[in-house]
Structures are given as C-alpha cells and as structure tokens.
Amino acid sequence: MKGASPIFTKRFESYVWIRPEGRGTLLESPIIKGLVEGSAADGVSNFVIDLEACPGMDSTFMGMLAGLGIGFRKNKEGEISIVGTTEKTKSSLKELGLQHLMVIEPTEGVWLGEIDDIRGKLVLFNQEREVDREAHILECHEDLCTADEDNLSRFRTVLEMLGSDIAPKASSHQKDSD
C-alpha cells in the first residue's frame, strides 16, 4: 500500500516471521493481515510479529492483531507471538486486552536464541495491495471491542462514525410524543 512502512518477512519451517519497520498504522495493517491470512491458507499456523523496529502502533494496527488472534482462537489452530516490544508497545497491547489472544514476549519457541540470525534472513515483502480502508478500519476496531468489551467505550466515536452495529448508542432522554 502506498505510503506504508517497509515490512520484512520470511517463511521458516514451522512459522512465518513478520517485521514492520516504522510505526504500525492503518497503512501496514492490511498488508500484514493479508500476509498472515495467505500464509494460513497455505498451511502455516504459527506467526511471529517482531516489533523491535516498530516504535508505536495505532488502534487500527492493534485491531488487526486482535482480529488475527480472534480468528486463530475461533479455529483452535495457530498462534501469534509478539516479540521485540518496548515497554510502550507492550503496555499498549495489554491495555487493549491482546495478551488474551496472543503470546507477548514468549519464553518458548523454536526460534528463541536465533532472533538476530532470523532478522538477517528477512526479505522485503511486496506491499502492493488495494484495500477498502474504511471497511478495514471498522473491522479492526470491532475486533478490538470483541477482544475486550472495555474497548467499546474507548472506540465508541470511531465505531459510530463508521456505522458499526456494535457501537453503543447514546441513550435518549426524550419521550416519544404521539
């Protein structure tokens, strides 16, 4: 997608490693979502999202991660591991409840101890992808609310603006008149 930060990736024997370089935003999220969904369709069920070079994430990016985690939980197949977090990015993920959908900074994995070597093998992913940006943003924010219902109050305005059916409606204090 035009304007997106570079995303590096490589498929290894039992997992796909994905590394966005730059902020994780609504521009990168559909690219990563498509990469994960395409790889899952090809039989890959384990993904490592490396945030070491990602200094921050917007809510759409975190909603994309939530949606992927929800999908894996629903299908009872696959796992997402998040590595390379800073205190800020880890706190953001946990504040929105994503630790219930994926493993943040795992202590187990076939790739532990090989992270630097893996990062050296990554290749730039072809990011040409057209997407309905508004629909993607809506889906990501609805997924955040599915991940943790406390997020409904955080993202109510976004959900309402985009016409979500799950947006809590403001209560009406007016009485119906006949």
Q: Is 156:87 a contact under the CB 8 Å cutoff?
A: no
Indicate the domain borders of the chain. 7-131
Q: What percent of the chain has pLDDT over 70?
A: 89
Rounded alpha-carbon distances, angstroms, from residue 171 to 10, 166, 168, 174: 49, 14, 9, 9
pLDDT bin (cut points 50, 70, 90) of residue 50 is very high
Q: What is the pLDDT of residues 63-83, one digit of tens each?
A: 999 999 999 888 888 899 999
Q: What pTM was computed for the model?
A: 0.81
pLDDT of residue 168: 59
Taking the C-alpha atoms of residue 66 and residue 93, their distance in angstroms, rounded to an integer, is: 9
Name the one residue in this structure whose structure tokens are 């809590």. Answer: 168
Domain 7-131 has CATH 3.30.1240.10: no
Q: What is the pLDDT of residues 124-133, one digit of tens each?
A: 998 676 677 7
Bridge-partner residues for 177, per DSSP? Answer: none
**Rounded to an integer, what is the distance from CA 39 to the centroid of its chain?**
15
